[in-house]
Amino acid sequence: MVQTGERIVSSASERYMLVYMIAVLVIITALVIVFFVMFQKRKNKLLLDKIEQQRAFEEEIVKAQTEAQEQTLKNIGWELHDNVGQLLSFASMQLSILKMQVSSDVKDKFKDTTEALSNGLKEVRALSKTLNNDVILNIGFEKSITNELERLKRMKFTSAELKITGDKVDFNDKNHEIIVFRILQEFLSNSVKYSKAKNLNIILEYTPKTIIITAKDDGKGFNMDKVVKGSGLINMKSRAELIGANLELTSQPNKGVVLVLQYPLS
């Protein structure tokens, strides 16, 4: 009987010991899991913080570059309007004075020169307006695009048109208006320099949640897989990202280039 009792006590002790060991093992496992989860959360937070800091740093760099570029463009605009414009105006005035002092048979020879000088003065003044932020904000986004297209049409294009659909909605920030205009200017500048296009078309579509801008040319285009992404495309994308807009550029050889910019409204 005594041995039987001892065996029962021993068996109970072993069960308690087993339960105790299992409990300890479960607690240790739970602690390890909790520690691992907390470590992963901490690690992920540090990675996210690092990514956010890098993104903020890159945004600041792009913002600083954009502000520097805008100030440079403004300075050039002032220089064109105040200095070059005045010189051309003075030259035009002097030419008019000379024209009055020569004989009638010589006056006809002044005609083409006078017209060329007058047209040059108009182009300089038109260009100076597109480089000055204050002028763009004053006359408005749509009018600025129209003026730019008219200027380019006088230069070399058969047609350069702006089509507007939907009810007008203001940009979230006036500075964003300038940035979007500069993106379009970059696109149009590339069309002038590289595309050999004859026609330009911009569609400005207002929706309740988004402003969608589609710019097209009918130039020679390029192969998207082979083209080297130059500073122009990088600059356009950087500016778009800075204001939270989505920019897509597509092209095919002999089918022109299409830019689609979607600007979200708050």
221-233 pLDDT, tens digit each: 888 776 656 657 7
Q: How far apart are CA 35 and CA 244, in angstroms?
A: 38
Angstrom distance (rounded) from CA 257 to CA 219 = 7
For the record, the structure tokens of 11 come out as: 């068996």
- Superfamily of domain 157-266 in CATH is Histidine kinase-like ATPase, C-terminal domain (3.30.565.10)
Give per-residue pLDDT as tens, 3-28: 555 555 566 677 777 777 888 888 88
Q: Which two tokens stand for residue 135?
A: 């002028």
Specify the pLDDT at position 263. 95
8 A C-beta contact, residue 202 and residue 162: yes
pLDDT attached to residue 217: 93
DSSP one-letter code for 220? -
137 neighbors 178 (Cβ within 8 angstroms): yes
Instruction: Collect all residues with Cβ–Cβ distance below 8 Å to 200 and sequence separation of at least 6.
Output: 149, 152, 153, 157, 159, 160, 161, 188, 191, 215, 216, 217
In the chain, where the domains are located:
1-131, 157-266
DSSP single-letter state for residue 194: I
pTM: 0.64
pLDDT of residue 2: 47
Q: What is the DSSP pairing of strand 199-206 with strand 159-165?
A: parallel
The span from the CA of 119 to the CA of 114, in Å, is 9
Q: Write the single-letter amino acid at 118.
A: S
Question: Average pLDDT over the chain, rounded to whole?
Answer: 77
| pLDDT less than 70: residues of the chain | 1-12, 49-112, 117, 121, 226-231
Q: What is the pLDDT of residue 264?
A: 94
The token duo for 121 is 């003065």
Residue 162 CA to residue 164 CA, distance in Å, equals 7
